[in-house]
Amino acid sequence: MSYLFKNNVDVTISLNYNLKTKIDMIRLITALIITLLVFVTTAFSQNTAITGDWYGQLDIQGTKLKINFHVSEKGGIYTTTMDSPDQGAMGIPTASTNVTNNTLEVNLQGVSFIGELKKDKIDGIFNQNGMSIPLILSKTPIVSEKPKAKPQEPKKPYNYISEEITFVNKQANNIKLAGTLTLPKHVKKPAVAILITGSGPQNRNSEILGHQPFLVLSDYLTNNGIAVLRYDDRGVADSEGTQEGKTSVDFATDVDAAITYLKTRKDINTKKIGLIGHSEGGFIAPMIASKNKEIAFIVLLAGTGVDGGLILRTQERRANELSGATKDALDYKERLGKKMHDIVNSSNNSKEVTENLKTFFTDFRKNNTETYTNYITDDMVNIMVNAYNNWHIYFIKTDPAQFLEKTNCPVLALNGSKDFQVLPKLNLSGIKSALKHNKDVTTIELEGLNHLFQKCKTGALSEYAQLEETFNEDAMKIITNWINKRF
């Protein structure tokens, strides 16, 4: 979740650890994976006091993030949708809703909330990426000051044409996707870039913690002669569809639909359509370019260069390292993650993944005597096992090299030196190696930038909202000059 709920290649919750206490060891051992995808909900018991709208706020190293649950019941079956208003993600279906007596359990992909109804509040724990964060829900909406616009956000009237558009993905039951096309006024038939968001449901501006990086990037590019198409992910804002059970392969078809739409336009150069993908978007871009030889260029912003399992393990280790975890704890968690990912890789489908992981944990807890193993409870095992859905399984099993090796168009790959989610040296090296056949490849590690391409001190999640900068101008200048030099 380029935001809290961005799937695995995006923002990870980081908390300060004190591994001398039981609760902190529990926080370190719980679920491995971050993600917020969309799933059909189910439930098992009936309690009308649980139904209704519930409002809460996470505190992540001083960063406040509102979380809302909307619980409904019909015929004894409970369903829940979730909002993350500060991230522009509303009405997101969850994977399952279980109500037993006064306990509410809501599960999403890699995320869960378990709480107990106490009078007019639900007191519980929000679990994500191995972290456990207290979350108290009430019936009273949390009203906070409207976040101040960041300095880089463009103000109307723009110096270019901005058009609201829609296009249809015929490969996905004709869902309609909504977006914005910006066109420079004084360039006849300009090159055009399609912006591809990172993992998780997000709007066309890739909104995260008060920042709108795709709005800022599209404004900069368009003011410098490059047209830009950005759109709401399926199931988000004005776009139709769902992310239930989908993988990067499905989301790539949304980009295909955007390309098809652009080819109908008379005001752009249809021979100069390129892709700019951030994080998972940087995984999807070469997936498309490897088979569509008409793609003019791709720009990978914190794109992946190694398989998803390694991405997740290195991401989590660095996040926990920034939070102060000990080397012993880091090594333990990384070994555990590797064993789990090996099981995913050797399994043929999601059912096998679930069964094999449960068997693994039964044996692991019985035979492993390390201290941390004592705190892997049944609930924690369920959280970790349930995190592996279609998206995660595909991501873990897939090496982007298979797509990069077949990509022949010009490629620009950028990473920030302080990106803890997609480690720069590891991934830029992988990208460069897979593209050794390509004669037009530029890879740059940008000093002092984080996963969102903000100038930062540590690169930790806690800085994202606090920083005034939304998208480093030097990075945007590199992208712009690189494209304009070729097109």
Is the domain of 168 the same as that of 302? Answer: yes
- The answer to whether residue 444 sits within a structural domain is yes
Least confident of 137-141, 235-239, 245-249, 372-376: 372-376
Secondary structure of residue 163 in the 3-state scheme: strand
Count of CB atoms within 10 A of residue 282's CB? 29
Is the domain of 98 the same as that of 233? Answer: no
Dist. CA 252–CA 264, nearest whole Å: 19
DSSP 372: G
The residue among 240, 356, 368 whose CA lies nearest residue 376 is 368
Q: Which run of H or of E encompasses 92?
A: strand 89-93
The tens digit of pLDDT for each residue in 425-445 reads 999 999 999 999 999 999 999
Helices (H) and strands (E) in the chain, counts: 13, 17
Is the domain of 255 the same as that of 166? Answer: yes
Is the domain of 184 the same as that of 100? Answer: no
Domains in the chain, number: 2
The tens digit of pLDDT for each residue in 32-66 reads 333 332 222 233 335 678 999 999 998 876 667 88
Omega into 157 within 30° of 0, i.e. cis? yes
Query: What string of DSSP letters covers 26-37?
Result: HHHHS-------
The residue among 188, 147, 144, 183 whose CA lies nearest residue 163 is 183
Last residue of a domain, one of 90, 108, 138: 138
User: Contact at 8 Å (CB) between 68 and 53?
Assistant: yes
Buried b (16+ CB within 10 A) or exposed e, 55-68: bbebebeebebbbb
Dist. CA 302–CA 214, nearest whole Å: 14
Query: 439: which strand partners?
Result: none
Dist. CA 45–CA 41, nearest whole Å: 13
Last residue of a domain, one of 71, 105, 138: 138
Dist. CA 328–CA 326, nearest whole Å: 5
State the pLDDT confidence band at 311, using cuts at 50, 70 and 90.
Answer: very high
Mean pLDDT across 12-40: 35
Is the domain of 83 the same as that of 183? Answer: no
pTM of the model: 0.79
Dist. CA 38–CA 108, nearest whole Å: 7
- The answer to whether residue 217 sits within a structural domain is yes
- The answer to whether residue 441 sits within a structural domain is yes
Mean pLDDT across 73-84: 88
Is the domain of 300 the same as that of 171? Answer: yes
Dist. CA 317–CA 315, nearest whole Å: 6
- The answer to whether residue 351 sits within a structural domain is no
The amino acid that residue 60 corresponds to is: I
Does 4 have pLDDT greater than 50? no
User: Contact at 8 Å (CB) between 229 and 263?
Assistant: no
Dist. CA 13–CA 132, nearest whole Å: 10
Dist. CA 412–CA 408, nearest whole Å: 12
Please state whether 459 falls in left (phi above 0), alpha (psi between -120 and 50) or beta.
left
Is the domain of 83 the same as that of 164? Answer: no
Is the domain of 168 the same as that of 115? Answer: no
- The answer to whether residue 94 sits within a structural domain is yes
- The answer to whether residue 4 sits within a structural domain is no
In this predicted structure, what is the pLDDT of residue 129? 53
In this predicted structure, what is the pLDDT of residue 80? 92
Is the domain of 187 the same as that of 296? Answer: yes
Order of all β-strands in the sheet with 441-446: 160-169, 175-184, 227-231, 192-196, 273-278, 298-301, 411-416, 441-446
Integer angstrom CA distances of residue 436 from 411, 416, 441, 444: 11, 22, 8, 15
Q: Which run of H or of E encompasses 108?
A: strand 103-108
Phi, psi dihedrals of residue 53, rounded to the nearest 5°: -100, 130
Is the domain of 204 the same as that of 88? Answer: no
Dist. CA 90–CA 109, nearest whole Å: 16
Is the domain of 28 the same as that of 117? Answer: yes
- The C-alpha R_g of the chain, in whole angstroms, comes to 22
Does 201 have pLDDT greater than 70? yes
Least confident of 154-163, 293-302, 327-336, 395-404: 327-336
Q: What is the CATH number of the domain that holds 113?
A: 2.40.128
The tens digit of pLDDT for each residue in 171-190 reads 999 999 999 999 999 999 99
In this predicted structure, what is the pLDDT of residue 94? 82
- The answer to whether residue 190 sits within a structural domain is yes
Q: Which run of H or of E encompasses 335?
A: helix 327-346
Dist. CA 123–CA 264, nearest whole Å: 53
Secondary structure of residue 302 in the 3-state scheme: coil
Last residue of a domain, one of 138, 169, 185: 138
Is the domain of 115 the same as that of 258? Answer: no
- The answer to whether residue 170 sits within a structural domain is yes
Phi, psi dihedrals of residue 336, rounded to the nearest 5°: -65, -45
Question: Which range marks the domain in which residue 171 is found?
Answer: 160-306+399-486
Helical segments of 177-279, H only: 213-223, 248-262
Q: What is the CATH number of the domain that holds 410?
A: 3.40.50.1820
